[in-house]
Amino acid sequence: MQSSNGSGPPLVSVIVPTYNYGHLISETLTCLQSQSYENWEGIIVDDGSTDNTAAVVEAAAASDPRIRYFKQENQRQGAARNLGIKQSRGNYLQFLDSDDLLERKKLELHVRFLEGHPEVDIVYSGVRYFSTDNPDERLVSRRYSMWDDGGAWMPEISGQGSSILPVLLRNNIMVVNAPLVRRSVIEKAGAFDVALTPVEDWQYWIRCAAAGSTFHYDDGQESMALVRSHELSASADGRRMLRATVRMRSGLAAVELSAEMQQLNQQLLAEAKGLLGVEEVINGNLLKGMKQIFSAALSDNRPRCKGKWLLCAVSAPFVGNERLHEMVTSSVTGSLAGIFAKPKTKNSRD
């Protein structure tokens, strides 16, 4: 495959942030080395690991010059990705968390697509989840999601800018290792926001869409993103995700969005605050939870929903977890309600 300028196969920079995943990163590097597309550089950014990560990666780099190892003080994954971007040299960038995998033709098929479609900025694949406890799921019973219903959650949409923003604002449309991204997009969008872990990638795609980037969903065989579901997964902590979502939505006021999109984001900010309030109440933080739900009422620009939030807030001390969850989610139009704020017990406080 020749690059669009005829100088040979384009280089793909695969950026892998890692922190204390020495027991998993060898499998991720092997997956990278098994790619059918060979012109890649693996930029491994060690975010201050204290385990054997350095030894594992340095051994791999010694036998494969395409692998490059960098280490920084612990600053979390957004900062590690930013360092990887600075060190990268590729025409295209692929993000890959150190506990996750790619199907073997992922790079090949996505490079071919972007080379043949210069009007597309970001091409992304579907995702399947597998469990650390059952690694054979990678090959057989791979799941569409890591939540109880096991259903597909990615909308699998394509579009440019304003046509994709409403969907992207409501919820992230892809996992971080699903897309292959043109360098020109990265140069325009800038760095990841390091204060938004673990939703910094979601906010990044919103910024890309707001800047007019064109997204394309590709369902090619053997190009899936494979995500490991285990107890250390960042997305497994509902409260952490919701807190970051509230920070992200609060910050989107500074992003250049239309008045209609800002209004939508304001409604979704209220919903995230309300759901976070439920999580706090369920986890025994009644006053903190009530404060969050009151904040949802102040944030919501819909009079009817504002009233519902106030009712939920004043009812929180008197109703069980399940009932409070039902009251709050009845005010929610976004997709967060199906993912977060699921009560741990029926009618008792933890």
Query: CA Rg, the chain, in Å?
Result: 21
**pLDDT given for residue 268 in this prediction:** 93
Assigned domain for 348 exists: no
One domain for residues 171 and 243 = no
Per-residue pLDDT tens over the stretch 302-348: 898 899 899 999 999 999 988 888 888 776 765 454 444 333 333 33
Domain count, the chain: 2
One domain for residues 272 and 224 = no
Secondary structure of residue 315 in the 3-state scheme: helix
One domain for residues 72 and 193 = yes
One domain for residues 285 and 218 = no
Question: Would you put residue 6 in left (φ > 0), alpha (ψ -120 to 50) or beta?
Answer: left
One domain for residues 87 and 121 = yes
One domain for residues 79 and 179 = yes
Give the residues of the chain that fall short of pLDDT 70: 1-6, 132-153, 230-237, 331, 333-350
- Residue where one domain finishes, among candidates 234, 252, 267: 234
One domain for residues 244 and 118 = no
- Residue where one domain finishes, among candidates 216, 234, 252: 234
How many angstroms separate the Cα of 3 from the Cα of each of 67, 81, 218? 22, 25, 20
One domain for residues 142 and 34 = yes
**pLDDT given for residue 140 in this prediction:** 45
One domain for residues 218 and 259 = no
**pLDDT given for residue 298 in this prediction:** 93
**pLDDT given for residue 338 in this prediction:** 44
Is the pTM of the predicted complex or chain greater than 0.75? Answer: yes
Q: What range defines the domain where residue 244 resides?
A: 238-338
**pLDDT given for residue 231 in this prediction:** 58
Contact indicator for 10, 35 with CB cutoff of 8 Å: no
- Residue where one domain finishes, among candidates 206, 234, 262: 234
Assigned domain for 317 exists: yes
**pLDDT given for residue 220 in this prediction:** 82
One domain for residues 320 and 202 = no
- CATH code of residue 160: 3.90.550.10
> Which residues, 6 or more positions from 276, have their beta carbon under 8 angstroms from its beta carbon?
239, 242, 243, 245, 246, 289, 292, 341
**pLDDT given for residue 340 in this prediction:** 43
